[in-house]
Amino acid sequence: IRKSVYVTELAEHATVPVINALSDRHHPLQTLADLMALQQHFGDVKGKTLAWVGDGNNVLHDLMYGATKLGMNLRIATPTGYEPDSEVMKITEGLVKENGTAAIVSTTDASEAVAGADVVVTDTWVSMGQEDEYAKRIAEFDGYQVNSKLMSQANPGAVFLHCLPRHQEEVADEVFYSDASLVFPEAENRMWTVMAVMAAQLGKL
């Protein structure tokens, strides 16, 4: 089911658990895999700074929720017009206040977002259903590639995440295949986190 509103409606009327594996506005299972990868690497992530560079899409939306719930500082760099959903931003700002330690910054400057960050994340610039916008998006996201120059502005020991599949315009090989990249443990964690969610939900039946 592509539309999040339909997933929500189905969950409201279903007699069994409904899991959103991916929809146009949300991707909660990806967030679980991402945060698991970060906890495996850093241990406690509270106080760490996560920088998102790219499209304000469904993957970002749930990462905003998850990261701030764990007390991470959040910086978001998107081109003008590609910011995260305003309702998601409002909810995230509420989570920031609840945690007291997290901060959220939104900018159009990728360097500003990444400077001093502990985690750098990006995703596809052209999501499902946006194929007709490919040329326009590639042009408007120029300057948002995660490469070694951008990563050099992050904290020493900073790591990189991407939910896959990746395209080279989004992240350069020099970062994707570097020691800083956690993309493959992150991908493996999709299996473990999905199993955990299913086990938890089946226990409620």
Q: Which of 16, 53, 87 is nearest to 158 (CA)?
A: 53
Tell me which of 163, 175, 180, 183 is the catalytic residue.
163
Q: At what angle do helices 86-99 and 58-69 cross, to 10 degrees?
A: 10
Token pair recorded at residue 90: 């409002």
111: left (phi over 0), alpha (psi -120 to 50) or beta: alpha
Catalytic-residue membership of 163? yes
Handedness of CA 141, 145, 163, 73 (dihedral sign): negative
Residue owning tokens 């939910």 = 163
Query: What residues are annotated to the active site?
Result: 163
